[in-house]
Amino acid sequence: MTAAGTAVPAHTHVDDRPFIRKYVFSTDHKIIGIQFLFLSLFFLLVGGLLAMGIRWQLGFPGQAMPLGGWLPEGVAPGGVVSPKTYIGLVTMHGTFMIFFAVMPLLVGVFANYLIPLKIGAPDMAFPRLNMWSFWLMIPSGLLMTASLFVLGGSSVAGWTVYAPLSNTPDYTGVHLGQQLWCLSIVIFGLSSLLGSVNYITTVINLRAPGMTWFRLPLSVWALFITAVLAILAVPVLAGAVIMLFFDQTIGTHFYLPASGGQPLMWQHLFWFFGHPEVYILILPAMGIVSDIIANGARKPIFGYVSMVWAMIGIAFLGFIVWGHHMFQSGMNPTLASAFMVSTIVIAVPSAIKVFNWLGTLWRGSIHFTTPMLNALAFVSMFIIGGLSGIFMASTPVDMYIHGTYFIVAHIHYVLFGGSLFAIYAGIYFWFPKMFGKQLDERLGKVHFALTFVFYNLTFFPMHILGLGGEMRRIYDPTVYDYLKPMQPINVFITVSAFLLFASQIVMAWNIVRTLARGKKADVNPWHDCGLEWTVPSPPPHGNFETTPTVYHGPYEFSVPGAPADYVPVNQPLPAVPEGRR
Amino acid sequence: MHWWFPGNASSVGGKVDTLFYVILYITGAVFVLVEATLLVFLVRYRRKSGRTAEHVEGSTRAEIIWTAIPAVILVTLALVSQPLWSKIKDSDTYPRNAVHVGLEAKQFEWHFTYPGPDGKLGDDDDFMKKDTLHLVVDRDYVLEMTARDVVHSLFIPAFRLKQDLVPGMDIRMWIKPTRTGTFEMACSELCGLGHYRMRGVVVVHTPQDYAAWLVSQGAASAADSAAAGLTPSGKGAP
Distance separating alpha carbons of residues A345 and A339, to the nearest angstrom: 10
Give the DSSP H/E element, type plus range, for residue B71: helix B60-89
Query: Is A477 in contact with A483 (CB distance < 8 Å)?
Result: yes
In a domain, A462, yes or no: yes
Decide if pLDDT at A115 tops 50: yes
Decide if pLDDT at A111 tops 90: yes
In a domain, A3, yes or no: no
Strand pairing category for B152-156 and B127-130: unpaired
In a domain, A234, yes or no: yes
Q: Tell me what the mean pLDDT of segment A372-386 comes to.
A: 97
As a residue count, chain B comes to 238
CB within 8 Å: A400 and B63: no
What's residue A538's pLDDT? 94
The answer for residues whose C-beta is within 8 angstroms of residue A419's C-beta and 6 or more apart is A102, A106, A281, A282, A285
What's residue B218's pLDDT? 60
CB atoms near residue B93 (< 10 Å): 12
In a domain, A579, yes or no: no
Give the pLDDT band of residue A411 (cuts 50, 70, 90): very high
CA angle B41, B46, B50 (to 5 degrees): 125
Global pTM reads 0.93
In a domain, A6, yes or no: no
Angle between helices A304-317 and A263-297 (to 10 degrees): 170
Q: Is A305 helix (H, G, I), strand (E, B) or coil?
A: helix
Number of alpha helices (DSSP H) and beta strands (DSSP E) in chain B: 4, 10
What's residue A336's pLDDT? 95
Least Cα separation, residue B56 to chain A (angstroms): 7
Give the pLDDT band of residue A494 (cuts 50, 70, 90): very high
Per-residue DSSP letter, A474: -
The alpha-helical segments, DSSP class H, found in B45-162 are 60-89
Query: Is B108 in contact with B194 (CB distance < 8 Å)?
Result: yes
What's residue A575's pLDDT? 81
What's residue B225's pLDDT? 46
What's residue A450's pLDDT? 98
- At residue A184, what is the residue type? S
Give the pLDDT band of residue A311 (cuts 50, 70, 90): very high
Segment among A191-195, A258-262, B172-176 with least mean pLDDT: A258-262
Contacts of B167 in chain A (CB under 8 A): 164, 256-258, 263
Q: Tell me what the mean pLDDT of segment A5-33 comes to.
A: 75
- ipTM of predicted complex: 0.92
Q: Tell me what the mean pLDDT of segment B209-214 comes to.
A: 89
Of chain A, the percentage scoring pLDDT greater than 90 comes to 91
CB atoms near residue A412 (< 10 Å): 21
- How many domains does chain A contain in total? 1
User: Cis before residue A18, ω within 30 degrees of 0?
Assistant: no
Give the pLDDT band of residue B18 (cuts 50, 70, 90): very high
What's residue B88's pLDDT? 94
Give the pLDDT band of residue A14 (cuts 50, 70, 90): low
What's residue B219's pLDDT? 56
In a domain, A569, yes or no: no
Distance separating alpha carbons of residues A35 and A459, to the nearest angstrom: 30
What's residue B221's pLDDT? 45
What's residue A249's pLDDT? 93
Contacts of B67 in chain A (CB under 8 A): 348, 351-352
Decide if pLDDT at A564 tops 80: yes
Q: Which of A217, A98, A156 is nearest to B150 (CA)?
A: A156
Higher pLDDT, A450 or A68: A450
The beta-carbon contacts of A163-166 under 8 Å, at least 24 apart in sequence, are: A163/A244, A163/A247, A163/A254, A163/A255, A163/A256, A163/A263, A163/A266, A164/A255, A164/A256, A164/A257, A164/A263, A164/B149, A164/B150, A164/B151, A164/B167, A165/B150, A165/B151, A165/B190, A165/B191, A165/B192, A166/A244, A166/A248, A166/A266
pLDDT in tens, B91-128: 999 999 999 999 999 999 999 999 877 778 888 888 89
Distance separating alpha carbons of residues B230 and B233, to the nearest angstrom: 8
Give the pLDDT band of residue A579 (cuts 50, 70, 90): low
Interface mutation target, options B22, B24, B35, B74, chain A, most CBs of A under 10 Å: B74
Specify the CATH number for the domain of residue A336. 1.20.210.10
Cα–Cα separations (whole angstroms), residue A560 to A1, A302, A566, A581, B53 = 44, 17, 10, 10, 10
Owning domain of residue A94? 21-534
What's residue B187's pLDDT? 97
Contacts of B30 in chain A (CB under 8 A): 387
Q: Which of A372, A209, A296, A205 is nearest to A555 (CA)?
A: A296
In a domain, A551, yes or no: no
Contacts of B149 in chain A (CB under 8 A): 164, 168, 171
| Average pLDDT score, chain B | 89
Cα–Cα separations (whole angstroms), residue A464 to A248, A397, A410, B131, B202 = 39, 15, 12, 27, 24
pLDDT in tens, A63-86: 999 888 888 888 888 889 999 999
Q: Which of A397, A236, A244 is nearest to A328 (CA)?
A: A397
Query: Is A500 in contact with A454 (CB distance < 8 Å)?
Result: yes
What's residue A22's pLDDT? 84
In a domain, A7, yes or no: no
Decide if pLDDT at A577 tops 70: no
Interface mutation target, options B3, B103, B154, B161, chain A, most CBs of A under 10 Å: B3
Strand pairing category for B152-156 and B161-165: antiparallel
Longest dimension (CA), chain B: 93
Angle between helices B13-44 and A370-393 (to 10 degrees): 160
